[in-house]
Chain A
Amino acid sequence: MIGFTIRRIIQAFVVIIAVMLLVFLLAHVIPGGAARAALGPRATRLQIAQFNRLNNYDRPIIVQFWLYIEGLIWHHNLGYSYHYNQGVTAVIQERLPKTLVLVGISTILALVVAVPLGILQVVRRNKPVDYALTAGSFIFYAMPSFLLGTLLILYLAVDVHLFSVEAPQGQTVGSILADPRGLVLPEVTLAAITIASFSRYMRSSMMEAMTEDYVRTARAKGANTTRVLFFHALRNAIIPIVTLLGLSIPAIVSGAVITETVFNFPGMGLLTYQAATNTDVPMLLGTAFVATVATVIGSLAADIIYAVVDPRVRYAKR
């Protein structure tokens, strides 16, 4: 187990470096270059040359990558964004908590709704409720989030001033949480789609668990349905929930570009998108780094938890 964990952690490091290299190469291929994007249309040739020299764009790409990694690991410096006139770390530090709140709440909301829904669908399997919920989740899953978000704004915030037209604009987590009128619509938009897939997954893994031998044994022994349901099947279905959580971490950290755009919420997702369209290379790399680390940690956590929880897995051999 320890060996497994250590091996996975080392692999995680390697993966992060490899991803950063790939992203680094991509970022430097964006046409037009970073200089003109940062300095604007009136920049002189001299200024562009100075910019390139100051930011090492005129050196070989491997050297640039090494300098970047060195800055990252030894100086904890992700660079400077001309577009924001701030250090990349400062901008990310400012936006990350907001995104964590926005997407985090929706993920928790999704879990809280999806688990009972999944159970309900199993208990009332193939009855109208099951079909209705299945249809609902299919439809929500197929709906692009910007469509859902826009319709919600249109009908619940513009036509009827029930909710706010935009997400909370506060700068601190506290002020965001203190504005429920603004939080509801973006959370609903994000959660709706998450609930749709979480509950489908819960339904299928619960149904799967129900057909397991041990469950059938318990029922054959005379245990009643509810007992069987909650004590045996649910316990085994917790594993996928935990894994789902682990794999949702990347999204919680990277934010949701589309929802943030629709609801005017300057979070991590929008930061990434704007960095790409503004050719803001350091910011692009910074957000990629944060997202990659989150993904790797998420899948590492999922792996480890899964290995801990399911003994069959631990002893498997190639």
Chain B
Amino acid sequence: MPNGDHGDEFRGSAVPRLPLEPGIGDLSSMISAVEESDYSIPEGGEATTSGGGALRQVARVFVENKLAVVGLAVIVFMVLFCWLGPVFYSTNQTNAQQALVSSTANTAPSAQHILGTDNAGYDMIGRLMFGGKNSLIVGLAAAALGTLFGALYGAISGFFGGWVDALMMRIVDVLLSIPPLFLLIVAAVIWHPSVLVLILIIAFLSWLIPARLIRGETLTLRVREYVQSVKVMGGSRRRIVLRHIVPNAIGTIVVNATFQVADAILFLAALGFLGLGVQPPQTDWGSMLSNGVNYAISGYWWEIYPAGIAIVLVVVAFNFIGDALRDSLEVRLQQR
């Protein structure tokens, strides 16, 4: 049987972020439950409309921040390992009968299986590659989907303001008040966990924070003069949202998304531990870990350390990158 704890304590985001601006209500993802509409509007700077500038900024981040480079390297390595790895090191990962017949379960690392086999007889390295695909796909897709939807939701809500904004944010409040692990468990019990369902469920939890953040940003920008002038010049609402608000919020979105990926991977691991993750013969690092925990006590260390290290490495890598991006965003904003 049996990140859940991460989900219990913090609203689906990793290490709390630095406030985007000093002294604002929009303190950080973690304080997102705080009622924003009653606090001061973030004092952001002018929105930049050039996308090219943002890209250059991002590139500079990686040049300056060593940890971010390390993080990126780790992620690239993992992606290559999981997708290119099986090309060079091909193992059976789906046929349970064959796994049982051709190899012995729970064997220690040997020449034939460099990291040993798991309880069903699958090769561990192959399992790492196979499971890594699911962990990374679910992590990235859930974060991307959640952040995208959340950003749009927040932008629309902040832009329209008034009762539309109030209603939309109350919905976010309600959803934020549901204990996240509770929602995950019930959703996984109702809708049989498959990769797609897991992406949707985790994304459903992830969109709430970006919605609040972007809405905060939007509120700021709405009153900025250049937006007023665009309106005066007859620019459409859609134009304002897409061409002015969103690009400026990109910084926030990207930073948040990076941390969401890390959280999503941890959520998936927690679900796997509770038996509600992907179904065999599919696997993910969290399910591998949860399986392995049963066997660690028998001394089969190779069934937990590889998956555990993989999760820790990838989550830390995303956190490094997110941290670096956020630091640079900070700097950029303070330079205005």
Contacts and interface: CB of A to CB of B under 8 A. Distances in A.
In-complex A–B contact (CB below 8 Å):
yes
Given A204-B16, A257-B8, A288-B178, A316 B38 contact: yes
Nearest to B327: A204
Contact of A257 (B4, B14, B25, B289): B4
Contacts of A147: 289, 293, 304, 308, 311
Interface in A243-275: 243-244, 247-248, 250-251, 254-259, 261-262, 269, 272-273
Contact of A197 (B14, B170, B189, B290): B14
A16 B170 CA distance: 12
A176 interface: no
Interface in B14-51: 14-19, 22-23, 25, 27-28, 30-31, 33-35, 37-41
Contacts of B37: 318
A115 interface: no
Contacts of B181: 254, 257, 269, 272
Nearest to A23: B178
A193 B289 contact: no
Contacts of B178: 19, 22-23, 288, 291-292, 295
A150 B28 contact: no
A144 B289 contact: yes
Contacts of B315: 141-142
Contact of A146 (B25, B38, B182, B289): B289
Contact of A193 (B6, B275, B304): B6
Nearest to B14: A141
Contact of B266 (A30, A144, A243): A144
B297 interface: yes
Interface stretch (A46-54, A122-130, A296-304): A296-304
Contacts of B313: 142
A313 B39 contact: yes
Contacts of B38: 4, 303, 307, 313, 316
A295 B304 contact: no
B8 A256 contact: yes
Contact of A303 (B28, B35, B286, B312): B35
A172 interface: no
Interface in B303-336: 304, 308, 311-313, 315-316, 319-320
B179 A150 contact: no
A244 B10 CA distance: 9
Interface residues on B, range: 35 or more
Contact of B179 (A4, A31, A250, A299): A250
Contacts of B185: 257, 272-273, 276-277
Given A254-B8, A258-B4, A261-B2, A303 B16 contact: no
Contact of A299 (B6, B9, B17, B34): B34
* Chain B interface mostly: helix
Given A144-B273, A147-B289, A8 B35 contact: yes
B255 interface: no
B112 interface: no
A287 interface: yes
A206 B39 CA distance: 21
B182 A258 contact: no
Contact of A204 (B1, B18, B304): B18
A284 B9 contact: no
B16 A258 contact: no
Contact of A258 (B35, B183, B274, B296): B274
Interface string A202-238: 0011011001100000000000000000000000000
A240 B10 CA distance: 14
19 contacts: A18-B174, A23-B186, A26-B187, A26-B190, A142-B313, A144-B289, A146-B290, A154-B296, A190-B5, A200-B15, A254-B179, A256-B4, A258-B3, A261-B274, A272-B185, A288-B182, A295-B176, A295-B179, A313-B25
Interface of B: 1-6, 8-11, 14-19, 22-23, 25, 27-28, 30-31, 33-35, 37-41, 170, 173-174, 176-179, 181-183, 185-187, 189-190, 262, 266, 269-270, 273-275, 286, 289-290, 293, 296-297, 304, 308, 311-313, 315-316, 319-320
